[in-house]
Amino acid sequence: MIIGLLVILIFVLFLPFSVRVVEKNLELFLFVMGLLAAVVGGVFSSQLFIRAAVDPIKITLAVFIAGLLFKWFHTPLQKSIVGLSRRIPFRLFIGLVVIILGLISSIITAIIAALVLVLVASSLRLERASMIRFVIIACFSIGMGAALTPIGEPLSTIAISKLNEEFFFLISLIGPQIFAALLLFGLLATLVVEPPNRKKGMVEKESNLETYEEILVRALKIYFFVMGLTLLGAGFEPMINRYFIGLDPLLLYWLNMISAILDNATLAAAEISPAMDHFTIQSILLGLLISGGMLIPGNIPNIIAAGKLEITSKEWAKFGVPMGLCVMMGYFIIIYLM
């Protein structure tokens, strides 16, 4: 059983980066891998399948409805963003955008928050280096803030499902650390994002609106993505119970830096177990959430923003990795002192 699960884990970790077809059909791939893991782990049952089919419904509906609202109110939203950016001091505006997107991402979902971020970034005539720093900091904020509720992003959906906890559990578990991080990211943005050239000013750029078909397809992809992760997590639970539960929580915190190159929801599905104590779960989640912003593949908002704004992996890593390491070290010291 363990050998079979290890083979599946290797496939999940490396095939998306080495096989183009897998990368383009990641949701279906993870769904198939989740089914295999549940069967190999000896935990597959009709009850598990029903739970895996029900768990993604809330986040799928949230993504679909938010996508429709974003499409319908795109133009007035863009005008409001540009208008506010002209009335509020630039650095204050940038800091507030980072903080607010982080806070509301747990309600409107990380995906929609990332689309709003793209809208803001494309509406301001920032120098490229400043634009990249702004987007990366905001994606850190969105990735962490979205974890406050199970509708914000797949990681939180999976965590709540695996732990069999109520809706606001993650706010009580890691809320203070996340709120502090959002304020930190907002302050950092005010310091490192330079105002646009005053002669050029700020301009409105009409973004390409998504079609209804694209909105529906994205929601369906999220559904199968989360369903696959639920099955994957259940399948790996026997191995997690045997090898991970006894590890030092602070070791797990640093090991989860691998989240920088892998989607953190995948790792959450494989690592988290209800048999773990709250401090261990907290260490795992913070390690995943912080390091998930370091590189483009680490989180869904990174992928969306980098793709739409044509930010390369090298450009992202140049700022994202040092920033992520500093935040990781800061929280490590805080957790250790606690």
Give tens-digit pLDDT for 135-177.
999 999 999 999 998 888 888 888 888 888 888 889 988 999 9
Average pLDDT over residues 245-261: 76
- pLDDT of 96 reads 94
CA neighbor of 302 nearest in space, from 321, 327, 287, 325: 321
For the cut 50, the answer to whether the pLDDT of residue 295 exceeds it is yes
Q: How far apart are CA 145 and CA 209, in angstroms?
A: 25
- Count other Cβ atoms within 10 Å, centred on residue 164: 9
Query: How far is C-alpha 84 from the chain's CA centre?
Result: 27
Residue 208 — very low, low, confident or very high, per pLDDT cuts 50/70/90? low
- Better-predicted residue by pLDDT, 69 or 185: 185
What are the CB-based long-range contacts (under 8 Å, 24+) for 200-203? Answer: 200/125, 201/125, 202/82, 202/85, 202/86, 202/123, 202/124, 202/125, 203/82, 203/123, 203/124, 203/125
Q: What angle do CA 170, 174, 179 make, to 5 degrees?
A: 110
Q: Residues 54, 202: contact at Cβ < 8 Å? A: no
pLDDT in tens, 15-47: 866 777 876 777 788 888 889 988 988 888 988
pTM over 0.85: no
- pLDDT of 17 reads 63
Largest CA distance in the chain: 66
Residue 105 CB-half CA count within 13 A: 34
φ, ψ for residue 311 (rounded to 5)? -90, 130
CA neighbor of 56 nearest in space, from 31, 32, 38: 31
- Better-predicted residue by pLDDT, 20 or 322: 322
User: What type of residue is 231?
Assistant: L
**Which value, to the nearest 10 degrees, does the dihedral of the CA atoms of residues 247, 332, 273, 144 take?**
-160
CA dist 270 → 190, 232, 329 (Å): 37, 7, 24
- pLDDT of 234 reads 79
